[in-house]
Copies of this chain bind each other. A is one copy, B any other.
Amino acid sequence: MTDAARQSPVRTGRRPGSGDTRSRVLLAARASFGELGFDGATIRHVALRAGVDPALVHHYFGSKQQLFVAAMEFPFDLPGMASRILEGPRDELGARFVRSVLGLWETPATRPLLLGLVRSATTDPVAAAMLRQLLAEGPFLALSGAIDQPDAALRATLAGSQLIGLALARYVVAVEPLASAPFEVLVDALAPTVQRYLAGDLTGAERLEGATEAGEPVP
């Protein structure tokens, strides 16, 4: 395995090395960060998993933090996802949103990446900044910004908070019955929530109106 390190003439900053080895290390890194989080994963563990020498991982990617950032590069088109969610009937926006985001969690290629991000973001500042950016500026904001409603940023982050909470409960800590609930049950349960966060009333005015009709005073 050290042969690979000896054979490839490595120059820093150019992402060198055979594409296969590099991909294998990134795949191993996603799996390790996904299982153990940033604090728990080690370069040694990633190298063992990829079947390469730890020195090679250091040489290709630098520090564990740099490896983490490289491993968390999204292998899917987030802006494209937002555009696809916006297509179709406006009152099914929430359902398309939930289906798309949960779909990423259900996909073997992306689940370890998302697990790694959530498991690391709770303690590692770089991972926290990445999750913060994903929630605040990612496809969620593109979505809520395209809807003609005030408070686009608040709407985007509210929708993100429900999805990240469901992911934490279902995939990270595996709370039942959420962990084994069928995909479509979750889409039905969450769709109206996200629909309201993105395009509905957030002020509680509807709730207060309901209270008035029931004869209760509005403060």
Contact = CB atoms under 8 A, between A and B. Distances in A.
Interface string A124-138: 000010011001100
Contacts of A207: 91-92, 95, 188, 191-192, 195
A192 B206 CA distance: 9
Task: Describe A's contact surface by its main secondary structure.
Answer: helix
Chain copies in the assembly?
2
Interface stretch (A5-13, A50-58, A115-123): A115-123
A172 interface: yes
A181 B154 contact: yes
Interface in A141-177: 153-154, 157-158, 160-166, 168-170, 172-177
Interface string A18-54: 0000000000000000001101100000000000000
A216 interface: yes
